[in-house]
Amino acid sequence: MTTVTDYGVTADGFVLKPVDVILSESFDRARAAFPGADLTSTSALRKILETAAAEDGELWKRLEDLYYGNFVSTATGTGLDLLGDDTGLERATLASTGTVGVTLDHGVEGRSYVLPQGAVLVTEEPVRAFGTVAPVVLDRHTPTADVGVVAFEPGPDGDVDAGTITGIDPTYRSIYLADFGPADFTVTNPAATTGGTEDEPDRAYRGRLLGIARNLWTVEAVAQAALGVGGVLDVVLSDPLGGVDVSQSYFDLFHFDQRAFSSERRVGQPYFFTVVVAHDFRWPWHTTGPVPGVFERVSAAVDTVRPIGIHANIVEADHIEVGVRATLVIAPGSDGVALLSSVRRRLATDIAALRLGGDVLYAQVVSAFVEQPGVLDVQGLHLRRAPAAFGRITFGDVPFQRVLAEGAVGENLVMGPTELATFVVDGDAFDVTVVTG
């Protein structure tokens, strides 16, 4: 075993001195100062040295924290905030959350009414906008339901009192609920919304700091500006003249101080590049009522880093709904409904972690099933996908997709570079039959 003799700041980082080493060194100094001193386990001197060694051990831990607090990859808490101050990127606040009660008024017998996910609910003046996190289906026999809401804008302004959320935004209703006829929804929040005063966790803040661009006009700077917009999940940039795609023949054949990205252009001639944006379903693409659209906000953010004469073409990514068809074999006595609910939540979490172009792996979906307690087997598992929207993006060929196209057993769902896989918890793409083994 190698004995460590160098503690503190070393070439390998900070090496913490253990308490037993501190205590051993204290014994050596005591013996040198007091020859023949009693250092047995019951002596008073030993008790004093042990107490002092414990205090010194805590001091060494504090020194270790201070050392690693100088680096973004290891800093935590206040130390990470200070590093963010140095780069000009502050820790973001979280969005307020809560629950509202939805009531159907003047519904027609035999008809169901759906309040979609992402429906815009508003307060009285000053207006605060919230989006629903799940669809609500009501009829004459089930006229009420509760649903979670999230504030569109993060920060403490989203923490509103009980009874403050008063209805559906009129602009949203005129666009998406115009066919309701005399029916309408009454909404209110029985309790206050909370969470707007909390800050994003260290993990999320550290990731943004590590990815911050240090130059004004680079691919990273544009991506950073777009990703800094609330509701944006991922972005992909395309320069048709090769400045972004290094495989293009134009790449590395220009002078940075004379040309934009890569290709020569005439003075005064506008230059366009494409920014594909994948966003949270709750945020509308274009401004709807009091909620600013992702398109407008990303455009404004990119404008702050683009040179004169170079313009961004902001394009919405293809959000591909994915699902599964399978037979789930469960142990006798297991709750099939609860197991399916757990699988849905697991799939929603796993697929939400994917980014643009990220494939849905067959093994990942199988794990979401078989790792649930009470599941014996999953058979005939086919991954499904909804069709892409064609003609929107020209980054390459997108194969024709039929509605809810199914892959073979064992086949992954391959996403195009401008496609983002999404999983709707209550979507009809999830078709699983439960049998008892």
Instruction: Indicate if the pLDDT at residue 244 is higher than 50.
Output: no
Rounded to whole angstroms, what are the CA distances from 163 to 171, 290, 321? 21, 19, 35
Q: Are residues 310 and 338 in the same domain?
A: no
Neighbours of 183 (CB within 10 A): 17
* pLDDT tens per residue across span 246-289: 444 444 444 444 444 445 555 556 677 788 899 887 888 899 88
- Do 339 and 306 lie in one domain? The reply is no
Same domain, 341 and 351: yes
pLDDT of 365 strictly over 70: yes
Does residue 144 have a pLDDT over 60?
A: yes
Range of the domain at 176: 97-188
Q: What is the pLDDT of residue 257?
A: 47
pLDDT score at 165: 93
Is 86 inside any structural domain?
A: no
Average pLDDT over residues 186-207: 91
pLDDT at 270: 65
Q: What is the mean pLDDT of residues 188-199?
A: 93
Residue 184 confidence (pLDDT) = 86
Per-residue confidence at 389, pLDDT binned at 50, 70, 90? very low
Q: What is the tens place of the pLDDT at every residue in 15-28?
A: 888 898 999 889 98
**Residue 81, in any domain of the structure:** no
Position 391 scores a pLDDT of: 36
Mean pLDDT over residues 90-104, rounded?
92
Backbone angles phi, psi at 84, to 5 degrees: -65, -35
The pLDDT-based confidence of 393 (bands split at 50, 70, 90) is very low
Instruction: Judge whether 74 lies within some domain.
Output: no
Last residue of a domain, which of 154, 188, 222?
Answer: 188
Percent helix, strand, coil in the chain, to 5, is 25, 25, 45
How far is it, in rounded angstroms, from Cα 388 to Cα 124? 39
404 in the same domain as 363: yes
Claim to verify: residue 272 and residue 365 sit in the same structural domain: no
Query: Within a domain: residue 78?
Result: no
Average pLDDT, the chain: 82
Closest CA to 333 of 276, 285, 375: 375
> Would you say residue 245 has pLDDT above 70?
no
CB 288 within 8 A of CB 171: yes
* Any domain includes 422: yes
Is there a domain that residue 221 lies in?
A: yes
Asked whether the predicted pLDDT for residue 99 surpasses 90, the reply is: yes
Within this chain, do residues 42 and 134 fall inside the same structural domain, yes or no?
A: no
**Residue 309 domain-assigned?**
yes
58 plus 126 within the same structural domain: no
CATH number of 222's domain: 3.30.70
Sign of CA dihedral 128, 133, 137, 143: negative
Q: Are residues 297 and 334 in the same domain?
A: no
Share of residues in the chain with pLDDT > 70 (%): 85
- Residue 172 DSSP SS3: helix
Average pLDDT of the residues in 186-200: 92
Q: Are residues 107 and 158 in the same domain?
A: yes
* Alpha-carbon distances, residue 231 vs 186, 296, 420 (angstroms): 27, 12, 14
In 81-128, at which residue ranges do the beta strands (DSSP E only) sit?
97-105, 113-115, 120-123
Rounded to whole angstroms, how far apart are CA atoms 131 and 151? 6
Strands, E assignment, 154-243 = 165-168, 184-188, 232-238
Q: What confidence score (pLDDT) does residue 264 get? A: 53
The residue from 316, 344, 366 where one domain ends is 316
- Considering the domain architecture, whether residues 330 and 432 belong to the same structural domain is answered as yes
Structural tokens at position 66: 């201070």
pLDDT at 329: 92
239 pLDDT band (50/70/90 cuts)?
A: low
Amino acid letter, residue 146:
D
Same domain assignment for residues 324 and 405: yes
Q: What is the mean pLDDT of residues 75-92?
A: 86
Per-residue confidence at 234, pLDDT binned at 50, 70, 90?
Answer: confident
Band (pLDDT 50/70/90 cuts) for residue 211 is confident
What values do phi and psi take at 297, rounded to 5?
-75, -40
Identify whether residues 254 and 341 lie together within a single domain.
no
Q: What angle do CA 98, 103, 105 make, to 5 degrees?
A: 150
Give the residue among 231, 217, 242 at the shortest CA–CA distance from 303: 217
- pLDDT bin (cut points 50, 70, 90) of residue 86 is confident
Domain final residue, candidates 267, 285, 316? 316
Domain count, the chain: 4
- Does residue 254 lie in a domain region? yes
